[in-house]
Amino acid sequence: MARIDLDLAHAYRSDPKADSDYALLPLKMSFSDGGAYALLGPSGCGKTTMLNIISGLLTPSQGSVKFDGQDVTRQTPQQRNIAQVFQFPVIYDTMTVAQNLAFPLRNRGVPAARIRERVARIADMLELTGQLDQRAAGLSADAKQKISLGRGLVREDVSAVLFDEPLTVIDPHLKWQLRRKLKEIHRELKLTLIYVTHDQVEALTFADEVVVMSRGRAVQVGTAEALFQRPEHTFVGHFIGSPGMNFMPADSRRGHLHLGGVDLTTPQSLPEGELKVGIRPEHLKLVDEGDPGAVPATVLAEQDIGTCILLTAQAQGATLKARLPNGTAQPAVGETVWLRVIDLNTCFYQDEKLVA
């Protein structure tokens, strides 16, 4: 296993000039030895480009990739000792499950007894033990992808295991189980795992640290909690959470926060000037009229989504979403309510970056 350091940029076109010419803008980041990471972001943000640069399938147009301090920028995936799991199963149909799992070990001359041990362990973790002697050809798409995962995880000597949206073909119920399984496997095997996905639930359940990407930038690297509580960029606030963070334009002058027509006091000390106030739907509270951190809002809709009531309201030109606990007295559509937007959970942004 290895610590991985990136200090690079990548453009698929030669002679890039504008930011939009880059698939990855200049970035510096590190993946620690034995960590579980997810690269998360919308389509086209550069996740696969970053993964392919780490694996060695792609050479960055600028800069370097280091494994344990050694420059591997020009090395192939084999030389870097990387295992990869792709979206679709990569297995040998004519082999049995056991032979498929053993293949990467046999290829490297691992002794037979150790191969048996390791295959049994991986099969047990992925609940494939009962199918070890079956030919892969007859198995379902789910089982085949589990074999692919197993082949990625079976070697002990890899620098890292890279996953590119590995659960795409998996049935939703099994997907949920496998996400948790991968987390357990990481705890047990302590491999460096890097996992590409555009699904935040997948990223947040699997990874110790999530790299949130937007348009060729890694905008924040953090734990699920940090991304939820303190998004460092409005993009992260908006992208993480369901629904995402609410934002309202505001103006900070001489210790006061003007939010539309309302003047509010904040527990945080704020820089002067135009700001965006960010508050999660989970933190937005219905309060009494005149509450010092609240704004009046007109109820637009209410939806019982089982775990809570999702309230949509309009306040000072912004649409706000609040997750209210079940059992909360529901205001009528069109009614004016007071929503507390300022409390210790509130985040403040200037030029889209967190400032308080």
Q: Interface residues with ligand ATP (CB under 6 A)?
A: 12, 23, 41, 43-49, 198
Nearest distance in Å: CB 324, ligand ATP: 34
Minimum CB–partner distance for residue 20 and ligand ATP (Å): 9
Q: Which residue's CB is nearer to ligand ATP, number 12 or number 267?
A: 12
Cβ proximity to ligand ATP: between 214 and 346 the closer is 214
Q: Give the amino acid at 229.
A: Q
Nearest residue (CB) to ligand ATP, 215 versus 230: 215
Instruction: Name the residue nearer to ligand ATP (CB basis): 40 or 341.
Output: 40
Instruction: Classify the phi-psi angles of 77: left when phi > 0, otherwise alpha if psi is within -120 to 50, otherwise beta.
Output: alpha
Nearest to 230 by CA among 341, 325, 349: 349
Q: Cβ of residue 235: shortest distance to ligand ATP, in angstroms? A: 14
Whether the CB-CB separation of 347 and 244 falls below 8 Å is answered with no
> 4: which 2 tokens?
């991985």
Nearer to ligand ATP by Cβ, of 1 and 196: the residue is 196
Question: Minimum distance from CB of 30 to ligand ATP (Å)?
Answer: 20
**The two structure tokens encoding residue 117:** 């041990």
d(CA 56, CA 58) in angstroms, rounded, equals 5
Report the greatest alpha carbon distance in the chain: 75
**Encoded amino acid at 74, one letter:** R
Q: How far apart are CB 313 and ligand ATP at their closest, in Å?
A: 33
Rounded least distance, CB 158 to ligand ATP, Å? 22
Q: Where on the phi/psi map is residue 34: left (φ > 0), alpha (ψ -120 to 50), or beta?
A: left
Which residue, 41 or 293, has its beta carbon nearer to ligand ATP? 41
Rounded CA-CA distance 293/225 in Å is: 24
Cβ atoms of 177 and 3 within 8 Å: the answer is no
